[in-house]
Structure formats: C-alpha cells, structure tokens
A and B are shown apart, each in its own frame.
Chain A
Amino acid sequence: MTPPLEWYLIFSAALFTIGLVGVLVRRHVLIIFMSVELMLNACNVALVAFGRHLDTLTGQNFVVFVITVAAAEAAVGLGIILSLAHHKDTVDVGEMDILKQ
C-alpha cells in the first residue's frame, strides 16, 4: 500500500508555495533563480504522481522535457546573472533596473 495521490499533491503544493514565497521575499538574484527551480521540481512531483495514479507514462515523459528545459534555462539564466552582476556590480535585484532607465 502506497501513500494516496492527495498526499503527493499536497507535498507538491507546499514545495511550490515555498518557491513562490522565495521569489517574492528574497533580494539575492541567485536565491530567486533557485526558488524558480524549486517550483519546477514541485510541478515534476505532481506530474509523476498523476501519471502513476492514472496508469500512464505521459507524465514521466513530460518530466523529461521539463528537466531538459530547466537545464537550458539554468545555463542561459546563470550566464545572464553573471554578466549582469559584473556590469552592475551588485546581486540585489532592487538595483538591477537597467530597463527602467
């Protein structure tokens, strides 16, 4: 006997909420980026749990693509963060306002 679907969904919702609060509350650009990764991971848990419950592998196939996109996003996003931090000499998102000037 395994835990029911609802437990996995509640866990996924909790992880997603923590990621959301992280994006809203922190000022360090890297922590905000990591919170986005947390939210992606929460969605992966929900996809796999639904796929198991409904006897289909489509959820797991989807997770493979989500992880691919997350890897691409991390590579490009960290490159942008790095050059932005060198350009502005700060990691505070409040001071990264080039587009507003």
Chain B
Amino acid sequence: MLPLTLFFLLFAAVALFGAVMVLVSRNPVHSVLFMLLTFANVAGMFLLLNAEFIAAVQLLVYSGAILVLFLFVVMLLQRGERPLPALTQPLQAPVAIFVGLALLSELALVVLTSNVGGGTRGADTPEAIARAGGNIQALGSQLYTTWLLPFEIASVLLLVAAVGAIYLAKEDI
C-alpha cells in the first residue's frame, strides 16, 4: 500500500468521523471540539494536495480563529441554565437522512460515471510552482496580480463584517 494513499484514507476517515460526531453530540462544546478534529484533518488533506498555504490558513483561520469564536459563543449562550433543545423532531431525522443519502448517491454517480478529470490543463505544473519558489510564492504572485481586485474587495468585506459584528454586539439592539 502506498503511504500517500494510506494518509489519505486516515485523514478522510477521521474527518468524516469528526463530522458525524459534530451532529450526534448532545453538548455543543463537544461538537465544537469534534469540528476542530475535522478541520485539522482537512488541513492534512490540503497538504496531500500540495496546497501548503491553504493548509496553514485552514489551521490558523478555521481552527484557530473561527472555532475559538464558536467556543466563546457556546459559553455565552449556556449561561443561566437555558435548556438545550430537543436533538431532533420525530419525522425530521428520517427525512433528513433520506435526503442526505439521495444527494450522496447522486454526487457519487456523477463523480464515478462522468469524465470529471477532463479539461484543459493550466500552466501551474509542479515544475512551474517549484521554479516560482514554492506554493506560497506562486499563490501570492497570482493573488496580487490576477486576483488583485477580488482581493481588495475581500478586505473591504472583512472591514464591513467587523463593523457589523461590533454593532450587533451592542446591548440595546
């Protein structure tokens, strides 16, 4: 068995296990921690795909920042013994699982029967990325040339989101 394939199977199995445990955990804190497990394993999968920068951002932004935010909100919501809602409603679970299985089988059918890998190859072969100095250098030079306008819009979006979050956090709203 090839080691990379083994690593892929390990990351995929643990990530899917964590994702399922997010849903079945009764305690929201446990859900957030299982989510951390899933995100860390998805970061490992990005490493297998030679996307080192995305893997680092996944760990820093998702696992580091967003999940800590979730943990804080869980802490704030659980103050004063507010009862947890019922896990699910009687008819809700079977319908949801049926819809999920239908979607999964559709997606698997599309992936396995159609020619998903076909398409024109780009210029960023592993050799070209190595010549640019690595994944981060190649990604950065594209981000600041080809994708400069979306990049600036994204920074304005973050500013708007920060102002909006501060406004929402005010007491008298």
Interface residues of A (CB under 8 A from B): 1-3, 5-11, 13-22, 24-28, 30-31, 33-35, 37-38, 41, 44-45, 48-49, 51-58, 60-61, 63-65, 67-76, 78-83, 85, 89-94
CA distance A53 to B49 in the complex (A): 9
- Asked if B157 contacts A69 (CB within 8 A), the reply is yes
CA distance A13 to B77 in the complex (A): 32
- Cβ 8 A contact of B158, one of A3, A16, A68, A78: A68
| Interface residue total, chain B, C-beta cutoff 8 A | 90
- Asked if A18 contacts B96 (CB within 8 A), the reply is no
> Residues 92-116 of chain B: 1 if any A CB is under 8 Å from the residue's CB, otherwise 0?
1101110111011001100110001
- Asked if A30 contacts B73 (CB within 8 A), the reply is yes
- Cβ 8 A contact of B162, one of A24, A51, A70, A75: A75
- Asked if B51 contacts A60 (CB within 8 A), the reply is yes
How many inter-chain residue pairs (CB < 8 Å) link A and B?
Answer: 243
Cβ of A21: which chain B residues have Cβ within 8 Å of it? 23, 96-97, 99-100
Listed A/B pairs (15) with beta-carbon separation below 8 Å: A1-B2, A6-B117, A10-B107, A13-B104, A15-B38, A20-B103, A27-B87, A38-B19, A41-B38, A57-B124, A60-B51, A63-B54, A78-B70, A79-B168, A92-B85
Q: Quick one: given A3-B8, A6-B116, A48-B51, are A64 and B124 in contact (CB under 8 Å)? A: no
CA distance A7 to B144 in the complex (A): 32
CA distance A63 to B58 in the complex (A): 10
CA distance A54 to B125 in the complex (A): 9
CA distance A84 to B157 in the complex (A): 23
- Asked if B54 contacts A15 (CB within 8 A), the reply is no
Q: Quick one: given A30-B70, A45-B45, A65-B150, are A58 and B23 in contact (CB under 8 Å)? A: no
Cβ of B69: which chain A residues have Cβ within 8 Å of it? 74-75, 78
